[in-house]
A and B are shown apart, each in its own frame.
Chain A
């Protein structure tokens, strides 16, 4: 039934006007009378106890309302269960202001509430703390002997541990004429979305048990997650709380769990019966989840002809003392390459740090960055071009799960990417290309990311004015959700785009899961398509009942929805306008709520993944060791592309992240203090405009009926996954140096 008027077209982002005029409102930007401001105080030690916390000086200032600490905080939910959000790893979630114990450096320990932001900030600087310090451990390398298997729990459903070994790696590796082994070390990274975490709680008086009503503007990747957390922790019935988040100034995973400003603002609003806003500082953006530091070992064996026979990939990642954070790091080699002898292992080490948190392409970019460097090394040893080597070791099935791929146009990615890049002109010899004192290198890598889908609900309403309003409590963190959902709805019901609005980010809407892991287009898209289809059936039923209906003896399959009309397929003159259908409904809008569900029976017979082939050019200053990425071509096979314009932007963003991860991003921890030292945007380097040159995106045609009814695979992660490895391989080609520690800073090249 679906027309293709808008799907697949490069429509301008529908939220664009709000964003370029400053009208788009983010969590800290909702004003309300008598708003109080909160400022958080964080611990300066990594482990120990608060002996004394002095708040008198702060409280002595006129306009300071209260200082909350573990000593005077209200009674809160008792059980861990109440603090578990939808992305909580197994363990016991961190609870702000729970007790005197310090579990990691920069742990929030007090909240100052004052009449103005400036006053709260100043008062916070007057809060002094005496600690009883204990020895802490924050160094992964020094503690790797304590590595252990992570606990399993709900999270293991989405992040299964690596499968059991297959074949005999050790024997096959020992017998392999070509071998490579390497250890790969990645630094901690922080998400650092441009918008700092903020929550504004608008309080309305009430006589109900929870003391009033709470409208919560929260920076989150899922309003449903925030409301569950706030309702449970503060024992507020759902009817008295609503979470709203129309715009999110970047997430990248940081908003997958409720952050502590939500807790702080809710606690203060509830206790003081006032509206409260709490905004974190950029420094405090380094005081919650991060991409964990990892140490990986990859060993590959191949025949003399370059056929891979043995694969070993192990990873050790850090976690906190209270939760077992895991990610899928080591499985991808087993999915991409055919060796019969495979051993994969993933372990974690508990340190005195906060729990890590999914960060764009969690695990995937980590594992692929190591694996694809090792594959490059093996291809070099075999004397085979890296693209040819990958084609030689190509697999149409997923050997790890022993399932076919639902679709896999990776071969075409290699072909189109190589052609666009001009790969054939590459001289395989390292240090063979130069421009003055700059060495030039060309490198490439493969990317892969799961195409998953969850259940979501959506509502579609044909309004009395004949326009369509569709909604779902999902998020648009810059991904284009507003735009693509509107396109899907408009096409499904044959309506012009201007007559369709899509709303999101409000717990009054039907629930959707957190936005992450590249599953929103598939998950919410399916819900939107389903609800529009079901609304179409409802509208058709109403149309049949209209007096003199042309459809009296016609079935639903014989009509189409086009141009705001229901039309008979064989005779377009036999039509009923949607407007007259609503009119005939006694002046009432026609509404439908539906659930979009993954077709598990169909899906589980296949491995479903997006793929990419990334080609990068770098220049390396021979004297200074500075690396510049002059060109990247990324050829992506990710099913159907709903909107090539927003889709391209997502891939471009991923490529920029790849440059950052490969060359710049590193949260440097001073192990003497167990503390991130470069907690600012001046010292935590992300790619800026001058770091980004020619970026080229190719979407390879890929048809997939299995992944979901829309045939989409999601784009949030696949743009990033292969980029750091392609850059590292280009650095090798330029310099002859194999750098296995990210980021590749100049000191490692000199």
Chain B
């Protein structure tokens, strides 16, 4: 990290670069072959090499949740895993969420629609991560109450402070109330 760089003496041997690898990633049902260095994170592979910029970088250190994607249905921080480790897995990003879950129909995942109806975002930067995280949390099946949701969604920071509406949006999908607005 740059901020902690120390004034170390020059290394004797000139630094060298790791070899590139062919990495096959299955993202949103499509397999793509990329030439990547082994140190490329899944997050950078998505954003910089596949131009799927819906997945956001908010810290690159597993501390904010903006990069949350689904790998085989489980939510993970894409900045904390290397692309090369994800070969053979089903990766779903915000761009592929609707296609996955809308019963073959085009359109939005119910969580996406609920986020719009409940104004569960402001700047929108944490939003793809919040949405993928919410879907992952619902897959896990541990959340029952609003307090559970608050706890289990706390890995996703929203600096705009949309938490109240995020919880409402998720609850509206988890326990649909036919006559609620």
Contacts and interface: CB of A to CB of B under 8 A. Distances in A.
Interface of A: 12-13, 15-26, 28-29, 31, 39-42, 44, 54, 56-57, 60-63, 106, 116-119, 122, 124-131, 192-196, 247-252, 279, 281-284, 287, 477-480, 645-646, 648-650, 652-657, 679-682, 686-690, 692-693, 695
Given A12-B116, A20-B112, A22-B128, A250 B60 contact: no
- Which one of A22, A125, A250, A679 has the highest number of Cβ atoms from chain B below 10 Å of its Cβ? A22
- Which one of A31, A194, A479, A682 has the highest number of Cβ atoms from chain B below 10 Å of its Cβ? A194
8 contacts: A12-B119, A22-B54, A44-B7, A193-B123, A194-B157, A248-B123, A477-B123, A652-B163
Nearest to A195: B125
A688 B94 contact: no
A34 to B, nearest CB: 13
B2 A478 contact: no
Contact of B160 (A20, A653, A680): A653
A247 B17 CA distance: 36
- Which one of A106, A195, A648 has the highest number of Cβ atoms from chain B below 10 Å of its Cβ? A195
B124 A15 contact: yes
Contact of A194 (B56, B60, B115): B56
Contacts of B1: 125, 281, 283
Across the A-B interface, give the 6 residue pairs with the lowest CB-CB distance, nearest first: A22-B54, A656-B161, A249-B125, A478-B122, A478-B123, A19-B124
A384 B161 CA distance: 34
B2 A194 contact: no
B78 to A, nearest CB: 13
Given A44-B6, A118-B37, A689 B122 contact: no
B63 A20 contact: no
Given A61-B17, A195-B123, A680-B59, A117 B162 contact: no
A157 to B, nearest CB: 29
B61 interface: yes
Given A20-B127, A60-B14, A194 B64 contact: yes
Contacts of B112: 20-21
B15 A689 contact: no
A127 B5 contact: yes
A13 B116 contact: yes
A649 B124 CA distance: 12
Contact of B54 (A23, A117, A119, A650): A23
B57 A196 contact: yes
A283 B7 CA distance: 19
Contacts of A125: 1-2, 5
A39 B2 contact: yes
Given A284-B2, A652-B165, 16 more contacts: A13-B119, A39-B2, A40-B2, A118-B44, A124-B2, A125-B1, A125-B2, A193-B125, A250-B160, A281-B60, A282-B63, A652-B164, A656-B163, A680-B63, A682-B61, A686-B159
Interface of B: 1-11, 14-17, 37, 39-40, 44, 47-48, 51-61, 63-64, 66, 93-95, 98, 108, 112-113, 115-117, 119, 121-128, 131, 149-151, 153-154, 156-167
A249 B59 CA distance: 13
Contacts of B5: 41, 44, 124-125, 127-129
A649 B154 CA distance: 19
B168 to A, nearest CB: 11
Contact of A654 (B51, B94, B115, B161): B161
B61 A680 contact: yes
B4 to A, nearest CB: 7
A193 B159 contact: yes
A228 B63 CA distance: 35
Given A193-B159, A478-B124, A649 B6 contact: no
Nearest to B39: A118
A192 B154 CA distance: 17
- Which one of A41, A122, A681 has the highest number of Cβ atoms from chain B below 10 Å of its Cβ? A681
Contacts of B16: 61
A20 B116 contact: yes
Nearest to A123: B15
Contacts of A656: 161, 163
B151 A252 contact: no
Contacts of B150: 689-690, 692-693
A247 B124 contact: yes
A690 B95 contact: no
Contact of A645 (B39, B44, B52, B119): B119
A637 B25 CA distance: 53
- Which one of A60, A648, A649 has the highest number of Cβ atoms from chain B below 10 Å of its Cβ? A649
Contacts of A682: 61, 63
A283 B53 contact: no
Nearest to A12: B116
Contact of B7 (A128, A287, A657, A679): A128
A284 B126 CA distance: 19
A478 B160 contact: yes
A165 B111 CA distance: 57
Given A127-B5, A195-B58, A18 B119 contact: no
Contacts of A480: 122
Contacts of B53: 22, 25-26, 28-29
Contacts of B4: 44
Given A57-B14, A117-B44, A193-B125, A250 B159 contact: yes
A128 B11 CA distance: 11
Contacts of B63: 282, 680-682
B123 A56 contact: no
Contacts of B115: 16, 20
Contact of A19 (B66, B127, B157, B161): B127
A517 B170 CA distance: 32
Contacts of A287: 3
Given A195-B56, A250-B123, A478-B122, A129 B3 contact: no
Nearest to B181: A10
A657 B161 contact: yes
Nearest to A648: B119
A63 B157 contact: no
Nearest to B149: A689
A17 B81 CA distance: 29
A479 B162 CA distance: 12
Nearest to A10: B119
Given A21-B54, A62-B17, A194-B126, A692 B119 contact: no
Contact of B3 (A23, A117, A679): A679
Contact of A283 (B2, B39, B119, B121): B2
A196 B153 CA distance: 21
Contact of B108 (A20, A26, A657): A20
A41 B157 contact: no
A478 B128 CA distance: 15
Contacts of B149: 689
A116 B48 contact: yes
Contact of A252 (B37, B153, B159, B166): B159
A21 B10 contact: no
- Which one of A26, A119, A480, A689 has the highest number of Cβ atoms from chain B below 10 Å of its Cβ? A689
A63 to B, nearest CB: 7
A653 B157 CA distance: 12
A649 B6 CA distance: 44
B6 to A, nearest CB: 7
Contact of A24 (B2, B124, B157, B158): B124
Contacts of B113: 20
Contacts of A17: 116
- Which one of B11, B40, B112, B163 has the highest number of Cβ atoms from chain A below 10 Å of its Cβ? B163
A125 B149 CA distance: 40
Contacts of A42: 2-3
A695 B44 contact: no
Nearest to A720: B161
A569 to B, nearest CB: 35
